[in-house]
């Protein structure tokens, strides 16, 4: 018996012919799985990856699966050791302790991309990286839940003075008290910075019975019953707990000082900083705790942090004697779950950039992408051209392309840097060197790659 004809879905191509009665046909349409061509880099035989600071194994596996040469270290590198290691790698993966200054980046003659396996990118000179054609990627989402859960734990621990009770028990002191210990239900939580972490935190806090307000420089649609305040001062004045979740910018450095703590925060309030160490002025925090204006605080980040584990936390001895102060060593996103997801997120972005030229997610770079070259497009070459953002560049580059058919092209700029992706058809392998040399010779060229 013949298979009945099934009418085309709305996704099918409108140019398909209807088969005769009793005939079958292959379905086609936008859901068809087109196999992309695996592209090879021109002039690069092997991609070398250097991973520092114990980047998660999920990233190592992802890079090795691509056939990249991977070297991994558990610690940050500094000085001459870093300069030596970085000079011939194509991809560098770091966390928060490795400092990529202009001097370091100048030594990285083959470096194409940097992956920050964390949220922050202030450890990288982003402008210097862009000027060398180095794209920088980070992980803005993956550790949000871990940080939000830590904050909830800190809020409860502060409200019940668990840090001090724990220290006393380790000193064989039994101190059963209920004075100044509270439930968090019904208390007001003020969130400064309502991004990925702040918004997740608001949901968790509301589920525990807290009333949540937030302050952000942008107008943001709140989740649940959370409300936005018009000013930071308003938020500080109504909150029992104030938690900070802002990036390190000029506007956020020293954001919370004596004026904010003593002048606007309620007496008996709590301050939590899991954002950046420069956001809170340490002397003002110490003063607020010692005179009892603040009932407690939790800090996970510091203006200056040790480069490695061990007895190196010596820069802030004044914090050690503060009552009801929870101090942690920048572990907000340090969970197995978060690090695994960060490893996948950042390595995926880096692999797409190296293998396809896709710069989506780059923090210092124009974000552009092109659809994949299909496997049957045998002589199609992808040109990845990073250049100075000056007039006349597209005219010059398209004159070079004029002897070939440009299948698709995308250009965008960010500040002084621009990026062109173009797929050029019918380029025999013997002409690749000629095309590559012509593009390199353009005055605006910063970096040019070709994939074929």
Cα distances (angstroms) measured from residue 214 to each of 152, 208, 277, 418: 16, 17, 20, 37
Q: For residue 364, give the nearest of 421, 422, 413 by alpha carbon.
A: 413
Identify the bridge partners of residue 113 per DSSP, sorted by sequence position. 91, 135
Q: Which of 234, 305, 318, 431 is catalytic?
A: 305
Annotated catalytic residue 185: no
Q: Which residues, at least 6 apart from 90, have a Cβ–Cβ distance to it below 8 Å?
A: 44, 47, 48, 49, 110, 111, 112, 113, 354
Q: Which of 165, 276, 382, 449 is catalytic?
A: 276
Take residue 170 and report the two structure tokens written for it. 């380790």
H-assigned helices in 327-427: 336-356, 393-401
CA 19 to chain centre: 51
Between CA 360 and CA 352 the distance in angstroms is 9
Cα distances (angstroms) measured from residue 390 to each of 128, 214, 415: 18, 42, 10
Q: For residue 370, give the nearest of 414, 295, 423, 324 by alpha carbon.
A: 423
Whether 111 contacts 447, CB under 8 Å = no
Q: For residue 448, give the nearest of 423, 421, 416 by alpha carbon.
A: 421
Annotated catalytic residue 165: no
Between CA 403 and CA 383 the distance in angstroms is 15
Q: Which residues, at least 6 apart from 346, have a Cβ–Cβ distance to it below 8 Å?
A: 59, 93, 115, 116, 117, 137, 138, 139
Whether 440 contacts 30, CB under 8 Å = no
Q: Which of 165, 330, 382, 449 is catalytic?
A: 330
Taking phi over 0 as left and psi of -120 to 50 as alpha, with beta for the rest, 200 belongs to alpha
Annotated catalytic residue 305: yes
Our CA angle for 119, 121, 122, nearest 5°, is 125
DSSP letters along 272-317, please? EE-S-GGGB-HHHHHHHHHTTSEEEEEE---SS--SSSSS---S-G
Residues designated catalytic: 276, 305, 330
């Amino acid at each position: 018996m013949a298979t009945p004809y099934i009418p085309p879905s709305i996704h099918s191509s409108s140019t398909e012919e209807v088969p005769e009665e009793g005939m079958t046909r292959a379905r086609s349409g936008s859901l068809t799985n087109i196999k992309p061509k695996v592209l090879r880099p021109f002039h690069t035989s092997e991609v070398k990856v250097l991973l520092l600071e114990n980047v998660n194994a999920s990233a190592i596996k992802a890079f090795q699966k691509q056939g990249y040469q991977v070297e991994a270290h558990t610690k940050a590198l500094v000085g001459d050791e870093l300069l030596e290691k970085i000079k011939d790698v194509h991809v560098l993966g770091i966390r928060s302790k490795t400092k990529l200054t202009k001097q370091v980046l100048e030594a990285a003659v083959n470096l194409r991309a940097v992956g920050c396996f964390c949220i922050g990118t202030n450890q990288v000179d982003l402008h210097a990286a862009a000027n060398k054609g180095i794209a920088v990627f980070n992980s803005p989402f993956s550790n949000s839940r871990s940080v939000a859960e830590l904050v909830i734990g800190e809020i409860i621990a502060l409200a019940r003075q668990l840090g001090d009770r724990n220290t006393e028990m380790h000193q064989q002191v039994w101190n059963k008290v209920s004075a100044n210990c509270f439930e968090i239900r019904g208390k007001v939580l003020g969130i400064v910075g309502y991004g990925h972490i702040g918004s997740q935190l608001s949901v968790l806090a509301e589920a525990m019975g807290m009333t949540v307000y937030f302050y952000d420089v942008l107008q943001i649609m709140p989740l649940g019953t959370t409300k936005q305040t018009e000013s930071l001062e308003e938020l500080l004045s109504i909150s029992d707990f104030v938690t900070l979740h802002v990036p390190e910018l000029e506007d956020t450095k020293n954001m919370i000082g004596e004026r904010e703590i003593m002048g606007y925060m309620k007496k008996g309030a709590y301050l939590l900083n899991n954002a950046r160490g420069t956001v809170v002025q340490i002397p003002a925090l110490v003063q607020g705790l010692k005179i009892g204006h603040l009932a407690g605080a939790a800090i996970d980040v510091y203006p200056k942090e040790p480069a490695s584990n061990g007895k190196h936390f010596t820069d802030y001895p004044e914090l050690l004697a503060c009552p009801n102060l929870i101090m942690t060593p920048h572990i907000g996103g340090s969970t197995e779950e978060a690090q695994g997801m960060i490893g996948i997120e950042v390595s995926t972005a880096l692999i797409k950039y190296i293998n396809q030229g896709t710069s989506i997610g780059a923090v210092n770079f124009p974000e552009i992408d092109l659809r994949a070259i299909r496997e049957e497009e045998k002589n199609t070459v992808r040109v990845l051209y990073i250049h100075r953002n000056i007039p006349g560049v597209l005219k010059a580059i398209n004159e070079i392309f004029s002897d070939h058919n440009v299948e698709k092209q995308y250009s965008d700029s960010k500040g002084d840097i621009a990026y062109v992706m173009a797929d050029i058809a019918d380029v025999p392998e013997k002409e690749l060197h000629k095309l590559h040399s012509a593009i390199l010779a353009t005055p605006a060229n910063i970096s040019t790659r070709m994939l074929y």
